[in-house]
Chains A and B, each alone.
Chain A
Amino acid sequence: MASGTELTPTSYIEHHLTYLTAQVGEGSFWVLHVDTLITSIILGVLSLGFIWMTVRKATSGVPSKTQAFVELAVEFIDNEVKNTFHGNRHIFVAPTALTIFIWVLMMNAMDILPIDIMAWVLEHGFGLHNWKIVPTTDVNTTFALALSIWFLMIFFNLKVKGVGGWMHELFCTPFGKNPLLWVLNLLFNFIEYVSKPLSHSLRLFGNIYAGEIIFLLLGMWAATGVSGTIFGSILGAGWAIFHILIVTLQAFIFMMLTVVYISMAHESH
């Protein structure tokens, strides 16, 4: 698909893994992945806007099919949150979980769209040469989400337990109050606090990124000849069907971990 240059496996893969970037300042940090940002915002606005439009017309009587569908999703998430979080979940936690689930699900679901057709449409329809349509294959997205949740976690720790309570927890759990164990406790908690956002974000990124790579490999196989096209198509279809599960599951796991982390911040040990 990389027009102009010779099409090799390397250029094919490179093409699909290149972001549309914009330099917003000096240095390598001040780079913006325009494709990731725009796609994710469009998806978020579309999905949450759809829910919002439905909710604005929500009736407590007999719901329309759309409202019933939205309610199904909302009640499913509300139930999951209710089982984990034992406070007033309606103020913040449950709507946050809904946002995460819907948004991440939408971003993951972009992975199922046939990658080369989308690239062709974007290139010929919008003149966009490099445009990654799956925001969650960008580690910036998953880290942004995980770090936001990490800060929320710390915020709720401080809000619910206070500075003293949180310090007490950092130094005295999980091994005990003995001053000899303080260093060990702190080290343990430090590792936990570092590993939480890492595992949280990399799990999502890794799963979706790997899924995309497999689509790319199948696409490359499809380019090798008739048998490759047949097997590539069959396997691609199979992988796409299997990916429906992965996409939903990863969105769900990401949401559940968020709820669990925030719940842990609310509960004293």
Chain B
Amino acid sequence: MNINFTLISQAIAFSVFIWFTVKYVWPPLLHAIEERQKTIADGLAAGERGRHELELASQRSSDVIKEAKQRASEIILQAEKRASEIVEEAKDAAKSEGDRIIAGAKADIEHEIYSAREALRQHAAQLAIVGASKILRREVDAKVHADLLVSIEEDLK
């Protein structure tokens, strides 16, 4: 255990090794490691971002689905309303058409009754006139009693 020149030579060797490591060994490896760390960090961040986006997208899709459902139910509601309206309208139209037909029929009937009654009345008047003229054959002169005949006919109307 004697201190000698070896100490100084070892110290020189040591400083050369330190210099070498500081200059040539450490920086490139550190660079590589840091670059990889950055890549990994970027990858993780991208993954996180992707996850977040997926969350947003699923949120959005569920929103869209909800909205679509709502729209669909609205449309169905409207359609039902419209359908009942149409049915209602058709009912009204049918009713009014029916009324119209009934009214027309009634008018026709009325008219028929009237004309029948008119014909009957005419017929009766003629019958009466025929009857009366048969009874009063001799006395009745169509020319003389024309005004009488007309008044009778008027009464029978």
The size bracket of the interface on A is: 35 or more
Say whether B29 contacts A148, CB under 8 Å. Answer: no
> B24-47 CB contact bits vs A (8 Å, 1 = yes)?
111111111101100100000000
Chain B residues with a Cβ closer than 8 Å to the other chain, count = 32
Task: Report which of A71, A99, A103, A145 forms a contact with B33, defined as CB distance below 8 A.
Answer: A71
| B13 in the interface (beta carbon within 8 A) | yes
Question: What is the CB-to-nearest-CB distance from A193 to chain B, in angstroms, rounded to a whole number?
Answer: 18
Find chain A residues with CB under 8 A from B7 CB: 140-141, 143-144, 147
Q: Which of B1-28 contact A (CB under 8 A)?
A: 1-11, 13-15, 17-18, 20-22, 24-28
Say whether A94 contacts B13, CB under 8 Å. Answer: no
**Residue on A nearest B29 in the bound complex, by CB:** A55
* Interchain CA distance A112-B35 in the complex, whole Å: 38
Say whether A74 contacts B6, CB under 8 Å. Answer: no
* Interchain CA distance A133-B37 in the complex, whole Å: 40
Task: Report which of B5, B10, B31, B36 forms a contact with A141, defined as CB distance below 8 A.
Answer: B10
Question: What is the CB-to-nearest-CB distance from A161 to chain B, in angstroms, rounded to a whole number?
Answer: 22
Say whether A58 contacts B6, CB under 8 Å. Answer: no
Say whether B10 contacts A71, CB under 8 Å. Answer: no
Task: Report which of B13, B22, B24, B33 forms a contact with A74, defined as CB distance below 8 A.
Answer: B33
| A70 in the interface (beta carbon within 8 A) | yes
Say whether B4 contacts A140, CB under 8 Å. Answer: yes
Q: Which of B76-91 contact A (CB under 8 A)?
A: none
Say whether A144 contacts B8, CB under 8 Å. Answer: yes
Task: Report which of A24, A28, A48 forms a contact with B25, defined as CB distance below 8 A.
Answer: A48
| A30 in the interface (beta carbon within 8 A) | yes
* Interchain CA distance A70-B7 in the complex, whole Å: 29
Say whether A60 contacts B35, CB under 8 Å. Answer: yes
Q: Which of A120-149 contact B (CB under 8 A)?
A: 135, 138-141, 143-145, 147-148
Question: What is the CB-to-nearest-CB distance from B56 to chain A, in angstroms, rounded to a whole number?
Answer: 32
Say whether A144 contacts B25, CB under 8 Å. Answer: no
Q: Taking A48-B25, A55-B28, A60-B36 as given, write out 18 further A-B residue pairs in contact, using a Cβ cutoff of 8 Å, ordered by the A residue number.
A: A31-B2, A31-B5, A32-B6, A41-B13, A44-B17, A52-B20, A60-B33, A60-B39, A74-B30, A95-B18, A95-B21, A96-B18, A98-B21, A98-B25, A139-B3, A140-B10, A141-B10, A147-B7
- Listed in ascending order, the chain A residues whose CB lies under 8 Å from chain B are 24-25, 28-33, 36-37, 40-41, 44, 48, 51-52, 55-56, 58-61, 63, 67, 70-71, 74-75, 78, 90-92, 94-96, 98-99, 103, 135, 138-141, 143-145, 147-148
Nearest 6 A/B pairs, CB to CB: A60-B35, A144-B10, A95-B26, A140-B6, A58-B32, A144-B11
12 contacts between A and B (CB under 8 A): A36-B6, A37-B9, A44-B13, A55-B24, A55-B28, A60-B36, A92-B22, A98-B21, A99-B21, A140-B10, A141-B6, A144-B13
